[in-house]
Every structure is written in structure tokens, then in C-alpha cells.
Chain A
């Protein structure tokens, strides 16, 4: 009986502790190794006339080591070639290279960019970036609630910017959430960045909405529960976003990652205060473990 009681206490208490939320910080106020790079688009590349459809792409580039390959994949994929707002995750910068990978990719595509390291990785940095031929202003960074995971814990941030598409100002937020959180904790981690965001808003990124319920501090996926009841987190996050007035244009586009023959919808784009049309997941782009996903926003 003592054994049973001990097991119940031990296992039932093995959730993930989330740290407090933090306010948005202006990019210019961040100094040191995690300072934000913000570069305006070349004057010649900003379109003179704003398009009716603004294509928004979210893409976890898995370090983005092959910058030229990424640029070529974007240019040669019709769904991506007309992208005008790119929300990238897991792009890196290393001192031995000719500038950050975000800067080189932006230069290849003729865009401006904001890159903010969320952590030091090896001799470089690792984090999200926003690329656009339209000017980025009011760039801000938020430290998301820290998840105290038993394995491979890391700080997570949100990167926000105002994208000035002609006379329209879109508030965009680029997110990369923790991997082995339960759906409720995932909502709590992203909530500070998305709940009170100014309208019109586009939220996108790698939300890591894996199909499992997790136990023992994010180390044990509950496979039987997943089989019987279906614990996919992506519809849960969609449901939360609908409750706070976001549209979910990528909810029916299918998986954005395949691992060991399993298809997972880890990445998403949400909109609030604009009309959006679902695009597609570009599964022909194989430079990353994720596939890029895009939507069109009607100006």
C-alpha cells in the first residue's frame, strides 16, 4: 500500500514547472551576445505598390546552415517565391561566417530582417528571424515562460514587429515553443505573447504541437492514451486561438514534419483582424526537418 501511495505521489506530481511571463522589450534595449540585428530592406526591393495578397510563410530552417540552398529553394518554389513576410525559426549565426545566416538569406532574397538570438549555441547564437521586403518597425522581444524540463531545456522567446505593407500595418509575432510540453502548458507558454497583441495580428511559428500527452517532466509520452483518445496538441492550440479571436487558416493543411514515418503538424499561422486564405505546406522543400507552411492575407 505504501508502494502504491508513493507511486501515485511520485508520478502525479511530475508535471513541468513554468516560469513567470515577462513584458515585451524593445529590440534596441537588448545588448551583448543576444542583441537583435535589425536591417532595413534595400530601397530597390521594397515594392512600390502593396499587393492585394500578402503571403506569409513560417519555416523552421533547422539552423539554416545552407543559406544559398535555402534561398534557391524559396526562389524555385512557387508558393514561397512570392512570400513577403517570412517567420523563420532555428536560424543561427556563427562568427566564422560572413554575417548571420538571417542576414545572408535576407540579402539573397532582397529583404530586410530582424534576427534575435534566443540563446548561445556553440560559438554562435540561435533564434527566430523575420524577413520582409517591407519595412520592419517597433521590433520587440519577449522572454516566454521558462519550462523546467528534465531533458534539453532552453529559453524560448517571441519576436514581434510591425510590418508596413503600404498603408497597412501588420503586427507579426514569430514563436518557437518548447517540445515536450502538454497542451495546457503550451498555451500558458505562448499566451503572454498572443493574448493582448495589437490588431491586426499574424502569429506564426514552430509551436511544437506534437501528438502526445507527457508525464514525468516531459520525458514520458503517454502512447496508450494517444492511441485511444487522440492527444494531438495542434487542434487544442487551434481551439485556444479561436477563443481569443484568431483564425486558424493552417489547421487543415496537414503535417509540417515527418519523423520515423509519423506525420506531425508542429507549425502553424494564425491571424486576427485580417482576412486570410489557407495556402499549403511545401513538402518538396527538404532542407530542414520541417516543411514551410504559408497563407495569404488579403490586404
Chain B
């Protein structure tokens, strides 16, 4: 009976809607989740649809404090012989938050390298590299699962562009 209860507790703790006790780390077998006393899960890894990479990307961030995190998103897209690589480090600030529901503002530089490869002999192709900046803001659900939906703006030598993004990932 005690084993069954522990198992249920463990499954619940791993579940999407699991709540983490404020001060007590949760023990699952020999693994101890590294939650802060305030229940914050410091590490987040995610995939992004649209977002900073344009079409998709992968990212990671680390919460320094409940209101402050650092992270980055990277992306590689290959369409029609045009290879776009982007790296977007950012600083994240949370103006308003509960333990699971948060409003975030992220900002940072963005480096994009575009290689237009040539499929024909008479033209060598072109490569371009640009440095810009991006700011995004939106809603974050942060429990065992990370979910973000956001609007963003990018600025660089090509002008200013609005964009949207959606992230889905896990936290530790």
C-alpha cells in the first residue's frame, strides 16, 4: 500500500499539473529534483515553432532568480538551397508571476547567417551574416512542462518585423 501511494505521488509529481511543495524537495527513488525553496524550476529546455529562429528552433534557459533568467535559442533551416542559421541569446525578465503562470519579457541580440548555395556552375552563390536585436513578450506556463506563447519584434539592417512564437518543453 505504501509503495502504491509513493508511486502515485511520484507520477503526480512528474505530471503536467503537479504542484511542487514550497520548501520540500520531492524524492523519486534516489533522484532529488533541484527546486529552489520558492519552488522555481531553474532549467528549461524547449522546442520553438516560429519564434526567434523564424520557422523553428531549440532553446534552453536558466533561472538566476524568480524574476530573471538567461538563455538562448538556436535554429538551422534549409529551404530551396538557402541555409539559415540563427543564434539568439537573451535575458528574460518576469514582471508578473505566480509559481506556474508568468508574464515574460525577453530581449537580446540575434545573429543570422544566410548561405544561398548555388546549384548551377555559373554562379557561386551568396552568403550574408547579420546582427540584429529581438524583444519578445508573452505568457509562460512553467510546471514540469514549459509552454510559452508570445509576440516578438526583430530589428536589424533589413528593418523591423513583427513575429509570433510558441515554445514547448520541459523544466528541471
Asked if A243 CB lies within 8 Å of chain B CBs, one says: yes
Interface of B (DSSP majority class): strand
- Which one of A182, A216, A239, A243 lies within 8 Å of B82 (CB-CB)? A182
Asked if B30 CB lies within 8 Å of chain A CBs, one says: no
B contact residues around A182 at 8 Å (CB): 79-82
Contact B80 A225 (CB under 8 A): no
CB distance from A65 to the nearest CB of B (A): 33
Considering the complex, which residues of chain B in the window 35-59 have a beta carbon less than 8 Å from any beta carbon of chain A?
A: 47, 49, 52-56, 58
A8 to B78, CA, bound (A): 10
With A4-B58, A7-B47 known to touch, is A215 a contact of B126 (CB < 8 Å)?
Answer: no
Asked if A231 CB lies within 8 Å of chain B CBs, one says: yes
B contact residues around A211 at 8 Å (CB): 158
Interface of A (DSSP majority class): helix
Contact B110 A228 (CB under 8 A): yes
Asked if A183 CB lies within 8 Å of chain B CBs, one says: yes
B contact residues around A214 at 8 Å (CB): 79-80
Instruction: Please indicate which of the listed interface residues B53, B112, B119, B124 has the most CB atoms of chain A within 10 Å of its own CB.
Output: B112
Asked if A287 CB lies within 8 Å of chain B CBs, one says: no
A231 to B124, CA, bound (A): 17
Asked if A11 CB lies within 8 Å of chain B CBs, one says: yes
How many chain A residues sit at the interface, stated as a range, is 35 or more
**Interface 0/1 of A1-44, CB less than 8 Å to B:** 00110011001101110000000000000000000000000000
Contact B112 A229 (CB under 8 A): yes
B contact residues around A8 at 8 Å (CB): 56
Chain B contributes a number of interface residues (CB within 8 A of A) equal to 49
Asked if B163 CB lies within 8 Å of chain A CBs, one says: yes
Q: B residues engaging A (CB < 8 A)? A: 47, 49, 52-56, 58, 77-82, 84, 86, 110-114, 116-120, 122-126, 128-132, 134, 152, 154-163, 168
A/B interface sample: 28 pairs, CB < 8 A: A7-B49, A7-B56, A15-B79, A182-B82, A184-B81, A184-B82, A184-B116, A184-B117, A184-B118, A184-B119, A187-B120, A188-B119, A214-B79, A223-B54, A223-B154, A225-B54, A227-B159, A228-B157, A229-B113, A229-B132, A230-B130, A230-B158, A231-B158, A232-B158, A239-B123, A240-B123, A243-B122, A243-B123
With A224-B112, A243-B124 known, 10 other A-B pairs at CB within 8 A are A184-B82, A188-B120, A213-B84, A216-B55, A220-B55, A222-B84, A227-B161, A229-B113, A230-B158, A231-B114
